Amino acid sequence: MWFELRWGITTCLILTVSLILLIFYNHPQTREVTLLFRTVPIVPETNGRVAEVYAGMSGPITEGAPIFRLDDSKQKAAVETAQRKIEQVQAELDLAKTDIDKAEGQLLQAQSAREQTLDELETKQDLQKRNPGGVAQRDIERLQARLDGDLGAIKAAQAARQNAEERVNSVLPAQRATAEAELEQAKVELLKTVIRAGVTGRIEQFVLRVGDVVNPLMRPAGVLIPEGAGHQALQAGFDQIEANVIKVGMTAEVTCASTPWKIIPMVVTQVQKFIAAGQFRAGQELIDVQKVTQPGTLLVFLEPRYKGGIDDVTPGSACIANAYSSHHEEIASNDTGFIQRLAYHTTDGVGLVHALILRLQALMLPFKTLVFKEH
């Protein structure tokens, strides 16, 4: 009798396997779903020893609020030095202005002396012309030499005035600007000793205490989770065989461990075009593909179809996701034949089976976790 029923049994087995393939291929499911969220490491911009702590081990914090402070004695000394340098340059500027007045006085004095010498020389030269031998030639030569000396004094006074003006107008202002820039830099370095929250969020695992040494490259002080992190989209890893099925805009559903007995409508908003397992970095050795043991998954981003759909899902929660194929446009097209339209209807209709399976999984998840899990 079994020999006579072999064709019917074989046909039923083939149909059953085909139906399972149809359901799971066109309406893929994955357990590799989670609500990833961004974290910000709490690190200073420079090395230092902790002098004061303002936050606790865990708790909310607002943007700009201080978290901890490093020892700032070195930075305060740099600020004080920069301030003293500005005062020094200002004193030199005031002194240079006095030098201008001094050079002006010396110039007037040299010009007056030259005029007096010139008058005396002209007088004696006129007397010598009227009465040759009445004035000694040596006196005239001495006045001419003094006249040349007075001219040198005038040039020296003019050079001194120009030098003082150059210091007042160019050199000292540049030095002052440099000193002010150094002061601003020192103040910035001083501000860096107080580490503040860059975003509003929540501090976790903050165990830093006074006296600890913090290194921005090797030792973060804790973790800051931004407010609203992990409430935008779910990240799902589907098998690579589903790459040609999963498209942007597909309807999906998820159920998460943190929200038992709840089915959340989702929609596929992005499909990553790369498999993460295939990435490599250039190094000293050639990549052997055999070493890539994990086949990797197709990363898909799922966003709630309705606003606030995943607000109750705890970030990092493990979830199960179904994605459903839809051939509505092909069915509505006049170019689609009857057999093809029937196939599309069948393909979309069997998605109900997978939806029921997801609801059974959501129903059994609390029991499997609380009752049947090994404790």
Q: What is the pLDDT of residues 44-100, one digit of tens each?
A: 888 888 888 888 888 899 998 999 998 988 888 998 999 998 888 888 877 777 776
What integer is the mean pLDDT of 142-170?
71
pLDDT value at residue 375: 52
* Lateral strand order in the sheet of 194-196: 194-196, 66-70, 48-53, 213-214
Confidence tier at 320 by pLDDT (50, 70, 90) = very high
Query: Residue 354 has what pLDDT?
Result: 82
105 with 88, same domain: the answer is yes
Same domain, 315 and 248: yes
Higher pLDDT, residue 205 or 331: 205
User: 92 and 162, same structural domain?
Assistant: yes
Write the CB contacts of 47 (distance below 8 Å, at least 6 apart in sequence).
213, 214, 215, 216
Task: Give the span between the Cα atoms of 257 and 371, in whole angstroms.
Answer: 14
In this structure, the answer to whether residues 120 and 98 fall within a common structural domain is yes
Question: Domain for residue 90, yes or no?
Answer: yes
230 Rama class: left (phi>0) / alpha (psi -120 to 50) / beta: left
Residue 326 lies in a domain: yes
pLDDT for position 9: 72
Looking up tokens 């029921």 gives 356
What integer pLDDT is reported at residue 267 of this predicted model? 93
Give mean pLDDT, residues 206-216: 84
pLDDT at position 124: 62
- In terms of Cβ atoms closer than 10 Å to its own Cβ (0-12, 13-18, 19+), residue 324 is middle
Q: What pLDDT is stored for residue 3 in this prediction?
A: 55
Task: State residue 254's pLDDT score.
Answer: 93
Cα 373–chain centre separation: 43
pLDDT the model gives residue 136: 60
Residue 105: domain span = 73-191
Identify whether 107 is part of a domain.
Answer: yes
Whether 273 is in a domain gets the answer yes
CA distances, 163 to each of 154, 160, 241, 353 (Å):
14, 5, 83, 95
Q: Residue 345 pLDDT > 80, yes or no?
A: no
Average pLDDT score, the chain: 81
Angle at 273 between CA 268 and CA 279, to 5 degrees: 130
* Band of pLDDT at residue 321, cut at 50, 70 and 90: very high
Task: Assess if residue 197 is contained within a domain.
Answer: no
Same domain, 236 and 364: yes
Question: Crossing angle, helix 6-26 and helix 338-349, to 10 degrees?
Answer: 80
Cα–Cα distance between 38 and 48 in angstroms, integer? 26
pLDDT digits (tens, 9 = 90+) for 18-53: 777 777 778 888 889 998 888 888 888 888 888 888
How many CB atoms lie under 10 A from the CB of residue 7?
Answer: 9
* pLDDT value, residue 338: 81
Same domain for 207 and 66: yes
Residue 302 confidence (pLDDT): 92
31 and 62 inside one domain: no
Indicate which CATH number applies to the domain containing 345: 2.40.30.170
**Total domain count for the chain?**
3
- Whether residue 253 contacts residue 265, with contact meaning beta carbons closer than 8 Å, is answered with yes
> Does the pLDDT value for residue 135 go beyond 60?
no
Are residues 221 and 233 both part of a single domain? no
* Predicted local distance difference test score (pLDDT) of residue 300: 92
Q: How many Cα atoms are found within 13 Å in the side-chain-facing hemisphere of 227?
A: 10
